[in-house]
Amino acid sequence: MKHRADALLQLAQAAYLDRLLPPRDPLLAEMEVAAAAADVPIADPEVGRLLTVLARATRARRIVEIGTAIGYGALCLARGAPAAEVVTIDQDPAMLERARGYLERAGVADRVRLIEGVALEAIPALDGRFDLAWVDAAKAEYRRYLDLLLPKIEVGGTLVFDNLLWAGLVADPDACGEDGEDAGGPDPASADALRAFNGYLMMHPQLAAVVLPFGDGVGLAVKTKPLISELGGPF
């Protein structure tokens, strides 16, 4: 989640956009409160709504999520694509158990497969192809997630990455203050990793991508052509 309302936009604009969002249903609202109370990172409400829109717009049949947390993103994705299977990966069993409870209450648990494990190890073992991928996990590993996910994504499939502007620190490293870190805020090391990742994402030859000043910065990409490995290469 973004660390303050005006981290990317002017305060008046940010406040207006927050007011424009429809009220969340009671379960999503409960999850937002629970995440804030326990300092659990979940998607901003507007990003959750984007996930629902993208899942529906792409008519996704199989979706993969990296970073389950308490299941907020998985629920938004499952609701947007009511016929889709959602596969979500997290290495924290306690988080997965909490996610399972929320997903059961939402009536979507039968379509969400929870995988406990390290994402960099679990992604290569995933079976089949996916139409949509949502990534909100360790920022320093985003490039490796992308490299591992791309062979699993259909041509024409969509990839979404959260926190790409990292409370403004990606664009302005000095914003973290003299001590190298904004008190209670995001760490500069992740900002450095995301800055490098953003260039990689935007210049990737198999992707058409954009970084949006939305939430805490959202990367949106479409796989436009297969990898050489998918064509039987290297040649």
Number of domains in the chain: 1
Per-residue confidence (pLDDT) for residue 181, from 0 to 100: 46
Kindly state whether residue 233 falls inside one of the protein's structural domains: no
Residue 213 lies in a domain: yes
Which segments of the chain does DSSP mark as H helices, in order? 11-20, 26-38, 45-57, 72-80, 93-106, 119-122, 142-149, 188-203
Task: Please report whether residue 232 resides in a domain.
Answer: no
Average pLDDT over residues 159-178: 86
Q: Let me know if residue 156 belongs to a domain.
A: yes
What's the pTM?
A: 0.92
Domain that holds residue 113: 11-224
Q: What is the pLDDT of residue 178?
A: 46
pLDDT digits (tens, 9 = 90+) for 95-117: 999 999 999 999 999 999 999 99
CATH assignment at residue 210: 3.40.50.150
Cα separation, 173 vs 193, whole angstroms: 12
